[in-house]
Amino acid sequence: MRKIGLLVNPIAGMGGSVGLKGTDGLAEEAARRGALPRAPLRAEAALQTLRPLREDLSVLCAAGAMGESEALAQGFSVQTVYAPEPSTTSRDTFEAAKAIEAAGAELLLFAGGDGTARDLVSAGVTIPCVGIPAGVKIHSPVYAVRPEAAGELACRFLKGERRRTKQVEVVDIDEAAWRADQVSTCLYGYLTVPDDRSLLQHGKAASPASEAAQHNSIASEMAKRLKPGCYYLIGPGTTTKALMDGLGLEDTLLGVDLIADGKLVQKDLCEADILRRVREKETYLVLTPTGGQGFLLGRGNQQIGPAVVKAIGKDRLFVLATKEKLFNLQGRPLLVDTGDPEADAAVSGYMRAIVGLGEEQMIRVSAD
Amino acid sequence: MKKIDRSNPVRTGFHQAKWDEPVIFELSQKGERGVLVNKAEKAVCEATEGTAVLPDFLKRKEAPALPEISQPRVLRHYARLAQETLGADVNIEIGQGTCTVKYSPKVNEQLANLPQMRDMHPLQDASTAQGIMEIIYKTNQYFCEISGMDAFTMQPGGGSQAILGMASLVYSYFKSRGEEKQRNEIITTIYSHPSDAAAPHLKGFKIIYLHPDKDGYPDFEAFKAAVNEHTAAFFVANPEDTGVYNKNVLKFTSYMHEHGGLCAYDQANANGLLGVTRAREAGFDTCFFNLHKTFSAPHGCGGPACGAVGCADFLEPFLPAPIIRFDGEKYYYDYENAKNPYGMHKIREFNGAAQVVLKTYAWIRALGAEGLYQVAKTAVLNNNYLFQKLMELPFVDAPYIPGKQRIEQCRYTLEKLLEETGVGTADIQRRMMDFGMHYWTSHHPYYVPEPMTLEPTETPSKADLDEYIETLKYVFKEAYDDPEYLKAAPHSSVCHQLDESNMDDPEQWAVTWRAYRKKYQ
């Protein structure tokens, strides 16, 4: 019997219906305002699509409303691997995710919002995941377009029709700032999803070439430009990871790595490491914009601080991006926020981004 | 008898033919034949000795894997497939976006099918082909007049090949100056046709794209930042897909010339510009016309077509050979360019699709100069009628410069419709099929959110435009009233929704029968 995980964040989405922007830290307030749980129903809608496979499936889940009740309601056989506190918190999501993976699930279906996806990242989940959209904030492309689509995607994956996977960003906005009408997106990490652009969020404007094909094309162009005898600092992100993969080098997905002459020189550098290396020899910086707002510097790569930026300068900066990522900006500039206006100004203005083999787009970089 | 009610222009009763027709290879029956060829006479067999004269490496070891099939079954097969298409002769051709094709007068088809044309061979002696040579020569002159260029070639077999022709002219020009290695970059725009990037890329150029500025024009500041000592040329359409004419185009072409580069104008679709503006006066050194798009020769399912490339006199020595010239008494083939060490020599065999040029010639002659100008005015009028009617709908918008007149087409956005109903442009596209109509979104990836690109040309009447608008309105209303039914469309087309999730997976796709058999049989 095959095992899949089911994880439901039962309070996800409650804040939205009562005018709270998100539910992080406000579940009680949402309930007081009369919000009803919606994640369990959405999880059941996803499971309904999976029912044809239920004879062969064992659902690993946390007890109660965090998955067990929903799976039982849809007639699945269930194995509980974690018992949450009566009033669930993000700690329970974290622990349940760990337990589900440890128990041997080959796929994790989870219902929640961006906060829930963040918890999975914190838990270090490595198996493929499919998000059932149930939260207030759904910015991470780990979520399917609809609950039924999540079930459909899980179905395709389990039947072997969609085994190819990819890593996608988990982003979230600072809810406290959002409530004050300030939107600030941060990249928290990556989750693996079955690669299916018709069923996942942000798939609507997909290019004819798959993201993987575009990444390879961008990596090939960048690899052609690597000069012998120079250092290249490789920033975080899946686009830059494709370069490292292409070179056959180990990569720190969320960190900065240093390469030279086709070899890994140092992994996961901190700001002090970077500054030391920059003084050693001619150093180039290879970045990809992160998160929904298109931050080039200052979000998710703070180790590339103002001193580094000033030392390297605009002429030795390479920007890699898929066409979709740049199109999604809708004319807005890529943002830099190093905390030092002088450093920001040093990389602001027009420059080129590599978008494929022999293809570049003119982009504008700005501090605001 | 009941009176026929035609008050509702929306064809709610339409249903396209669905034959569930197999691939022709699957129809093959061993031993079945379409034509039984008589055995040649003994003397003929002896004289040719069959395949004995061929060297071994040229001989097949096995018979070709062609379908074995009778004539009526072949006829039925292709007639059924024809019924499963929405060709230009059966639908109101507005919704093909930038690929809309105008009406091709049937009389010109008869002209091209005359034995004097049909039975010609491109290798026959020039003295026996004076008629078609005159037609190609004169069409060339008309194009020079329409564009302001000095010379044209009809050789390229379509738009992308024509752009490759322009890129080859650019390459030849810099090669003749010893700069082809240095000048290896071409700048184009997001809203120009993707072939304006793809074809020069094929020629070996690096491509730099410009995003639009806030008004939708190519960003001039980005353009200035992109131009450097490596820049070979600027390839652009005007208007671009937005339908907004860039009146500052001369600023771009002048800046490019000041920095030693050339300028190439994608005029595949010049419907709104005939008799209004000319490529040369806008500062371009080369341009091309798609004869199937602007000059009424039919598209022919992607061929035979003709993309006529024009250029200024200093680029003429690099045009492909032969060029048809007139010495005052007769027309002749000039092969001088084939000797040019820097030229492209050939882009396709012979002088292009001669029938297509003939249809173009007939169309231009029937209209005259005033008629061509009227074509442009009508195409622009049709588009702006459509624009005004659609912009009255609260959920339809057109990005950039509110109120600005569009030229021959427009890219709208249905972002608000999506927000309010959950119905997106791809859903509308599939639903329009249920009424026998095309509808186009945009090239991928989408730049305008939820795009809808419509281009009426001068062909449709007001009644045609109204039918298209009413059908769109019917579908939009359905988005609010019954979005789930709409999203499940098409319901009356050849096939229903396809699972396209594997289309980008090289492990699974099969674009030929051979690939299908290899992967799935």
**CB–CB contacts below 8 A, A to B:** 80
Gap from A361 CA to chain B (nearest CA, Å):
5
Please check whether residue B455 lies inside any domain of the structure: yes
Please check whether residue B6 lies inside any domain of the structure: no
Please check whether residue B10 lies inside any domain of the structure: no
Q: Which residues contact A215 (CB under 8 A, 6 or more apart)?
A: A238, A239, A242, A322
Structure confidence at residue B506 as a pLDDT band (50, 70, 90): confident
Chain centre distance of CA B118: 24
Torsion over CA: A49, A54, A60, A64 (sign):
positive
B207 and A326: CB-CB below 8 Å?
A: no
Please compute Rg for chain A using Cα positions.
22
Return d(Cα B218, Cα B227) in angstroms, integer. Answer: 13
pLDDT tens profile A215-240: 999 999 999 999 999 999 999 888 99
Question: pLDDT value at position A206?
Answer: 40
Amino acid at A134: A
Q: What is the CATH number of the domain that holds B183?
A: 3.40.640.10
Segment holding A326, helix H or strand E: helix A323-327
Nearest chain B residue (CA) to A364: B222
Please check whether residue B71 lies inside any domain of the structure: yes
Same structural domain, B432 and B341:
no
pLDDT tens profile B244-260: 999 999 999 999 999 99
Please check whether residue B203 lies inside any domain of the structure: yes
Return d(Cα B344, Cα B107) in angstroms, integer. Answer: 36
Structure confidence at residue A183 as a pLDDT band (50, 70, 90): low
Return d(Cα A276, Cα A178) in angstroms, integer. Answer: 38
What's the half-sphere exposure (Cβ side, CA atoms, 13 Å) at B188? 26
The closest CB to that of A361, out of B209, B426, B505, belongs to B209
Could you tell me if A220 lies within 8 Å of chain B, comparing CB atoms?
Answer: no
**Percent of chain B clearing pLDDT 70 (strictly above):** 98
> In which region does residue A262 sit, left (phi positive, over 0), alpha (psi from -120 to 50) or beta (all else)?
left
Q: Which residues contact A74 (CB under 8 A, 6 or more apart)?
A: A44, A47, A48, A50, A51, A54
**Percent of chain A clearing pLDDT 90 (strictly above):** 55
Structure confidence at residue B307 as a pLDDT band (50, 70, 90): very high
The closest CB to that of B211, out of A196, A198, A331, belongs to A331
The closest CB to that of B501, out of A198, A213, A326, belongs to A198
Same structural domain, B43 and B168:
no
Torsion over CA: A307, A313, A317, A319 (sign):
positive
Return d(Cα A253, Cα A268) in angstroms, integer. Answer: 9
Same structural domain, B327 and B222:
yes
Return d(Cα A246, Cα A219) in angstroms, integer. Answer: 7
Provide, as residue numbers in chain B, all residues whose Cβ is less than 8 Å from the Cβ of A154: none
Could you tell me if A162 lies within 8 Å of chain B, comparing CB atoms?
Answer: yes
Model ipTM value: 0.89
The closest CB to that of B444, out of A206, A350, A364, belongs to A206
> Domain residues for B71?
24-97
Same structural domain, B31 and B155:
no
The closest CB to that of A323, out of B445, B449, B501, belongs to B445
Nearest chain A residue (CA) to B225: A350
pLDDT tens profile A280-301: 999 999 999 975 678 899 877 8
pLDDT tens profile B184-213: 999 999 999 999 999 999 999 999 999 999
Mean pLDDT score across all residues of chain A? 86
Q: What is the pTM of this model?
A: 0.83
Question: pLDDT value at position A314?
Answer: 94
Total number of domains in chain B: 3
DSSP B281: T
Same structural domain, B333 and B266:
yes
Question: pLDDT value at position A204?
Answer: 36
Question: pLDDT value at position B367?
Answer: 97
Q: What is the CATH number of the domain that holds B460?
A: 3.90.1150.10
Provide, as residue numbers in chain B, all residues whose Cβ is less than 8 Å from the Cβ of A220: none
Residues of B with CB under 8 A from a CB of A: 190, 197, 201, 205-214, 219, 221-223, 225-226, 424, 426, 444-447, 449, 499-502, 504-505, 507
Question: pLDDT value at position A184?
Answer: 62
Which of B225, B213, B212 lies closest to B255, judged by CA? B225
Same structural domain, B220 and B344:
yes
A326 and B504: CB-CB below 8 Å?
A: no
Please compute Rg for chain B using Cα positions.
26
Please check whether residue B55 lies inside any domain of the structure: yes
The closest CB to that of B207, out of A210, A331, A358, belongs to A358
Select the highest-mean-pLDDT range: A50-64, A299-313, A327-341.
A50-64
Same structural domain, B346 and B216:
yes
Please check whether residue B453 lies inside any domain of the structure: yes
Give one DSSP letter per residue of A211-230, joined into a string. HHHHHHHHHHHHHHHPPTT-
Same structural domain, B70 and B196:
no
Give one DSSP letter per residue of B478-499, joined into a string. HHHH-HHHHHT--SSSSS----
Tokens 């290249």 sit at which residue?
A232
B222 and A362: CB-CB below 8 Å?
A: yes
Please check whether residue B171 lies inside any domain of the structure: yes
Q: Which residues contact A14 (CB under 8 A, 6 or more apart)?
A: A23, A27, A30, A31, A35, A36, A37, A38
Residue-level length of chain A: 368
DSSP B318: G
Q: Which of residues 71-100 of A touch B (CB under 8 A)?
A: none
Gap from B446 CA to chain A (nearest CA, Å):
5
Same structural domain, B92 and B190:
no
Return d(Cα B78, Cα A18) in angstroms, integer. Answer: 60
Return d(Cα B329, Cα A260) in angstroms, integer. Answer: 70
Same structural domain, B341 and B412:
no
Same structural domain, B87 and B153:
no
Structure confidence at residue B42 as a pLDDT band (50, 70, 90): confident
The residue-averaged pLDDT of A57-70 equals 93
Same structural domain, B279 and B331:
yes
Question: pLDDT value at position B60?
Answer: 85
